[in-house]
Structure 1
Amino acid sequence: MAYDAVILAGGAARRLGGVDKPGLSVGGRSLLEIVAAAVPDAGRLIVVGPERRVPRALYVLEEPRGGGPVPALRAGLAEVRAPWVALLAGDMPLLRPAHVAALQSAASGELAASGESAASGGLAASGRGPASGAVLVDDGGREQWLAGVWRADVLREALRGYEGRSLRGLLGPLAPVRAALPGRPWFDCDTMDDLEEAHMNVLSEWTALVCAELGIDPARVDRDLILDLTKEVAHGVARPAAPLTAYLLGLAQGAGTAPEDAVARLTALAGSWNEAGGEKLTGE
């Protein structure tokens, strides 16, 4: 499928204190960079919003500025040249290329998400022709209008003469395929709690990757317990002591010399470090 991508990356982010939300970092990349990485084969990468450091992006601004998603879509669509367009929000840290590919398949008629397949998070063969588009639905079955793939000509026709401000009012009547996909690709960051959840997801992905690389069963890793330990050591002793302590604990576990309550004992040592002046660890 030949397609361009339009990423809406403006907005005031009022619930985040007015910060540059698409520019916030998760796992070493900005939210906008993560979304852009989900459309690596897009012919054109069109970002509606202020310029940021994203390779190959074409930046445009809506009129009027701050007018909402409909004017932003209109501005981005004016730069689309491909027959299909991925319409995405600039703050979805869990979106991956596989999700966009599944939306493309659903929209093109190769696959469709409906009924039991959608409820189970999967896609089923439909055998019908291309639809107007396909959108992600969240765990509650609600359409996420800034997470979809559309026929560009259908969007242009829908925008012609549309005077409303709602994306739902614009896109809902087009009856897109509804796609429920695993991995919560629709998840966006509207609050600080959302941002913290995105950071924790990165931590989960990294933990799984490291376990696979080292041949460790992830079920044996109590991530939260280790994080609590390193936090206590960082605050009670010194920040560099936190990763060192985790490494030493790993060595002891691997050698079979760590006591069953090793984490609890190390946490207690860190908590009493300042009170004891280091005597418990140095023996002085």
Structure 2
Amino acid sequence: MEFDALILAGGRSSRLGGVPKSRLLYDGATLLSRALSAAAGAGAAVVVGPDPGELPSDVLTCREEPAFAGPAAAIAAGLAALDDSRGPQRAAMTLILACDMPKADQAVAALRAALADPGPDHAGVDGVMSASPDGRKQPLAGFYSTAALEHSVDEMEKSGGFAGASVFALLARLDVRTVTVPAGATDDVDTWDDAAALGVSRPRS
């Protein structure tokens, strides 16, 4: 399956004392590098957020406007950066992935398997998003129709803009199905207690 990838690495990390989530470590790698690894195979990838430091040469970067305007604004900025880079070569699907889920690779694998063998529940939909075994939806681990996403972005921009808008509001216009992913695959780091529970540590000095 051909896809592009949009990695969200912004946010204030206020409950982490301002330590960027992208630079936290899990199993010897930063959460950002793990997110990029989870997106391996993408035709193009863009990281949206503050300066992420050194990245592979083929990875794009951009920032939502204004800074810290929220994930919907970050998605809009990432789509624009991918469009500027790829133009008509854009893939039909776009992976949206937050960088604060250390086991996101497991979610991405489950989503790709569902798209490869969609069955009657997933055929012809605008995308698939992760859901934990207990039913918690995670829209920031999902594959979505690029055309449908861009249309939704255009409509949201016309109706008031992105600042403070939720991802669920952005995706409300899409026909999206959920895919149950392995337990823990979408557990994210919001606090130091979360980090400790997931085996995530502070960046090296």
TM range, normalised to the smaller chain? 0.7 to 0.9
Percent identity, please.
36
Distance (Å, rounded) in 2 between the aligned partners of 1:105 and 1:131 = 15
Instruction: Read off the aligned partner of 2:120 and give its amino acid letter.
Output: S
Q: Which residue of 1 aligns with 2:91?
A: 82
Q: Which amino acid letter does the alignment assign opposite residue 51 of structure 1?
A: P
CA displacement, residues 29-85 of structure 1 (integer Å, 9 cap, x when unaligned): 111111111111111111001232232321111111111111110010113321111
Instruction: Judging by fraction of residues, say which structure has more helix.
Output: 1
Q: Tell me the CA shift for residue 180 of structure 1.
A: 0.8
Q: TM-score, normalised by structure 2?
A: 0.83
Residue 60 of structure 1 aligns with an amino acid whose one-letter code is: C
State whether residues 107 and 141 of structure 2, in contact with CA within 8 Å, keep that contact through their aligned partners in structure 1: no
Structure 1 unmatched runs, 5+: 112-124, 201-284
1:52 aligns with 2:49: no
* Equivalent in the alignment of 1:62: 64
Residues 6, 47 of structure 2: 8 Å contact kept: yes
- Residue 53 of structure 1: SS of its match in structure 2? coil
Q: For 2:3 and 2:26, how far apart are their aligned partners in 1?
A: 27
Q: 1:137-186 CA deviation, whole Å, 9 max, x = no partner? A: 12431211111001100000111121351111111342311011114211
TM-score (norm 1): 0.61
Supply the RMSD in Å over aligned alpha carbons.
Answer: 1.9
Aligned length: 185
Query: Which structure has the greater CA radius of gyration?
Result: 1
Matches within 5 A, 1:144-223: 144-162=138-156, 163=160, 165-199=165-199
In 1: Cα distance, 2:183 partner to 2:42 partner:
22
Separation (CA, whole Å) in 1 of partners of 2:174 and 2:101: 24
Q: Which structure has the higher relative contact order (CA within 8 Å, separation 6+)?
A: 2
Give the Cα separation in 1 of the matches to 2:120 and 2:115: 11
5+ residue gaps, structure 2, are: 83-89, 201-205
| Contact 1:189-1:195 within 8 A present in 2 as well | yes
Measure how far apart 1:193 and its partner are: 1.3
